[in-house]
Amino acid sequence: MIVVHTLAACRAERQKLGRLAFIPTMGALHPGHLSLFATARKHAPHVAVSLFVNPTQFGPTEDFTKYPRPIETDLALCEAAGVDLVFNPSPEEMYRPGTPDLVVDVPGLTSILEGKHRLGHFKGVCLIVTKLFNIIRPDAALFGQKDFQQLRILTAMVEALDLPVEMVSCPTLRDADGLAMSSRNRYLSAEDRVRALSITRGLFAAEAEFKRGITQTNRLIATIQKPILEQHVNIDYVAAVDPVTLKNIEVVTGPTVLAVAARVGKTRLIDNLVIA
C-alpha cells in the first residue's frame, strides 16, 4: 500500500495504476467504510482511499477540530482491506493560500434537509469531491446511502459537469442493535447510545407500518418521531422525500426516503430508510 500526502505524489502514484475505484472518507474508519472498500474491488482491480477531514464542509460551530483522526489505525485498516493507494493530505495542501475560493453547488438540492441545518456543508462537499476526482481521476467512486442527500447531490454534480466517473451507491451498514454505523458514534456514551437507538426504532416502525398499508407520510413521520421524542432526543428534521428530487412526498406511491437528523446531546446523527 502506498501512502501519499501531496498532490504531486498522488498524481504520480495514480498514473502507475490502471482502472481505479475511489472512496473519499474523513477517516475514523468503521466497518461501513470497509464495506465500501470491499465493493470497490468488484468495480476495479485497484482501490484508492482518501483520509481527509475537510474543513470547508464544517460550519463554524461544528466538530471540525474534535473530529476523530486515528490515522495509524485507519492506515492499518486500509492495508488489511487491500487498499492500493491512500491519499492523506493536509488542509494546506488541499486549500493552498492564494488560490481563489471556488463554489461548486447544485442549487435546489443543497439548501434543503441537511443543507438547511448545515449551511454551506454541501458546497464544501461538492468542492472537495471535485478536487479529489481531479487529483485521483478515478474510474468509479463509491458512496454510502447513509448520506443519501450527499450521494444524490454528487451524482447530479457528476452528471452536470460531465465528469467521467461511475457513481456507485452502497447500502448502510448497521451495528447488531440496528444503529447506523458512523464515525460520530464514538462520541456517544452508553446512555446516549440507548437514546440514539430511538432513531433506528422510529425508522423501522415506520417501514413496518408502510408494509401494513399506511401510505400517508404524515402518519409515517409521526411514527418515526414518537420514540425519538420519548427519549428527549432533539429532532432537526424527519422527512419523507423523493429520492431524486428530494422534494417532500405526501402519499407513498413509489420509492421514498424516510430521513432523520437528530441531536443526542452534542452528537448530531443522521439515518434513513428507503421504502417502496
* Catalytic residue ranges: 33
Distance CA 198, CA 269 (A): 11
Nearer to ligand AMP, 155 or 256 (CB): 155
| 149 lies in the site for ligand AMP, by CB under 6 A | no
Among 144, 202, 227, 243, binds ligand AMP (CB under 6 A): 144
Instruction: Supply φ then ψ for residue 138, to 5 degrees.
Output: -75, 155
Tell me, residue by residue from 86 to 125, as one string, x for binding to ligand AMP by CB under 6 A and - for no binding: ----------------------------------------
- In the bound complex, what is the minimum distance in angstroms from residue 125's beta carbon to ligand AMP? 9
Distance CA 258, CA 5 (A): 38
- In the bound complex, what is the minimum distance in angstroms from residue 26's beta carbon to ligand AMP? 4
- In the bound complex, what is the minimum distance in angstroms from residue 8's beta carbon to ligand AMP? 25
Q: Identify the residue whose cell numbers are 438547511.
A: 116
| 146 lies in the site for ligand AMP, by CB under 6 A | yes
DSSP state string for the chain? -EEE-SHHHHHHHHHT--SEEEEEE-S---HHHHHHHHHHHHH-SEEEEEE---GGGS-TTSSTTTS---HHHHHHHHHHTT-SEEE---HHHHS-TTSPP-----TTTSSSTHHHHSTTHHHHHHHHHHHHHHHH--SEEEEEGGGHHHHHHHHHHHHHTT---EEEEEPPPB-TTSPBP-GGGGG--HHHHHHHHHHHHHHHHHHHHHHTT--BHHHHHHHHHHHHHHTTPEEEEEEEE-TTT--B-SB-SS-EEEEEEEEETTEEEEEEEEE-
| 196 lies in the site for ligand AMP, by CB under 6 A | no
Contact window for ligand AMP (CB under 6 A) among 39-47, 82-90, 181-189, 190-198: 181-189
Among 50, 88, 155, 183, binds ligand AMP (CB under 6 A): 183
Among 126, 173, 258, 273, binds ligand AMP (CB under 6 A): 173
| 182 lies in the site for ligand AMP, by CB under 6 A | yes
| 125 neighbors 154 (Cβ within 8 angstroms) | yes
Nearer to ligand AMP, 49 or 221 (CB): 49
What is the footprint of ligand AMP within residues 12-51 (CB under 6 A)?
25-26, 32-33, 35-36
| 269 lies in the site for ligand AMP, by CB under 6 A | no
Nearer to ligand AMP, 58 or 210 (CB): 58
| 249 lies in the site for ligand AMP, by CB under 6 A | no
| 202 lies in the site for ligand AMP, by CB under 6 A | no
Applying CB under 6 A, which residues contact ligand AMP? Answer: 25-26, 32-33, 35-36, 143-144, 146-147, 170, 172-173, 180-183
